[in-house]
Amino acid sequence: MSHHQLEKWFWRSMLILAGILLILGFLSGNLMMWIMALTIGILVRYCAYDLLFADFDAKADEIRQRYFKKKEAK
């Protein structure tokens, strides 16, 4: 695996960990787990958003542009 793929797997596992902490914190009523999940989510947002979601954003932008073109054509 290349460094790029390993980095993606790391950040994906961090998102999964944040989701698990969020659910466990909700079920147990433990506020500290919620704070940890929020912290991990913020770290992913600022450190790895482009790495993980760049393809999705490009596809969403393309769909949005096609929608506006169809809307303007009417």
User: At which residue do the structure tokens 């940890």 appear?
Assistant: 36
Grade residue 73 by pLDDT with cuts at 50, 70 and 90: confident
| pLDDT at 57 (0 to 100) | 83
Residue 71 clears pLDDT 80, i.e. is over it: no
Instruction: Label residue 29 left, alpha or beta by phi (over 0 means left) and psi (-120 to 50 means alpha).
Output: left
Helix ranges (H only) for the chain are 3-28, 31-73
11-65 pLDDT tens trace: 889 999 999 999 999 999 999 999 999 999 999 988 888 888 888 888 988 999 9
pTM value is 0.71
Strand, helix or coil at 4? helix
Q: What per-residue confidence (pLDDT) applies to 70?
A: 82
Contact 37, 22 (CB under 8 A): yes
Residue count (the chain): 74
